[in-house]
Amino acid sequence: MTEALDTSSRLLTILADIGARDVLDIGCGHGALARTLRRAGYTVTGIDPAPEAVAAARMAVPEGRFVQGGAEALPFATASFDACIFLNSLHHVPVPLMQAALREALRVLRPGGELMIVEPVAEGAFFEVMRPVEDETEIRHAAIRAIDALLAARVAIGPAPVTYERPTPMADLEAFIASLARVDPARRALAEAQRETLGRLFAAHVSVGPKGPELIQPLRLWRLRAAKP
């Protein structure tokens, strides 16, 4: 593991290093990353396949541009952005479309631009407590395989990824279930049906950090550039 920097700090440092101005947030969700990017002075475009997510992002970041669409067919011209970011979103792309999504991100980058991918690893305290509700082991592995295949095909190049830990403050089991439901409301019923199991897992994996009880999730960050023909 590397030094304790949060994900936003890591991404903002990279964007500053490459002199980025226009950033594409792929799988923007409700606009949390887009809001951070706008506050830092970047021009932000977000895309998400869910219309309700796009509507929420527009409300959260009125200065941004948000469109509904899939990562596998980005509705943007070639060389439109200085940077593209998948933040915890590549594993939500259907597995057969992951390669197309990555190639599309490279296509819309300007020369010298970077594709940043942050993916949760299928391990760690948060993952272990979540697993009975939604086991993402295979889909997370599939996302990593898609990146590895892109690099193996020399479509993209980049340094070895960095793995780091994200501590998520989590006061108790109720807070954990609420956090799952915020991502997908359908998870609440699944969690309630397994409350006893989740309670045992939460007690076994929770740790105490500077802000109180927390669950640790390892994340992996890739920095990729399009390989020269």
Give the integer Cα–Cα distance in Å for 158 and 224: 5
Are residues 47 and 71 in contact, defined by beta-carbon separation less than 8 angstroms? yes
Give the integer Cα–Cα distance in Å for 20 and 218: 27
List the beta bridge partners of residue 220.
119, 163
**119-151: pLDDT as tens digits:** 999 999 999 999 999 999 999 999 999 999 999
pTM: 0.93
Mean pLDDT of 49-78: 97
The residue assigned the tokens 């009125």 is: 62
Give the integer Cα–Cα distance in Å for 213 and 113: 39
- Residue 19, amino acid: G
Are residues 53 and 25 in contact, defined by beta-carbon separation less than 8 angstroms? no
pLDDT at 1: 40
Give the integer Cα–Cα distance in Å for 156 and 205: 37
* Residues 106-120: b if buried by 16+ CB within 10 A, e if exposed: bebbeeebbbbbbbb
Looking at residue 155, what DSSP letter applies? Answer: S
Q: Which of 67, 57, 5 is nearest to 36 (CA)?
A: 57
Task: Provide the pLDDT confidence category of residue 2 given band limits of 50, 70 and 90.
Answer: very low
Are residues 225 and 156 in contact, defined by beta-carbon separation less than 8 angstroms? yes
Q: Which of 227, 180, 220 is nearest to 86 (CA)?
A: 220
pLDDT at 52: 94
Average pLDDT, the chain: 95
Give the integer Cα–Cα distance in Å for 117 and 161: 9
Residue 227 clears pLDDT 70, i.e. is over it: yes
Q: In the structure encoding, which two tokens stand for residue 14, read together?
A: 């990279």
Mean pLDDT of 87-96: 96
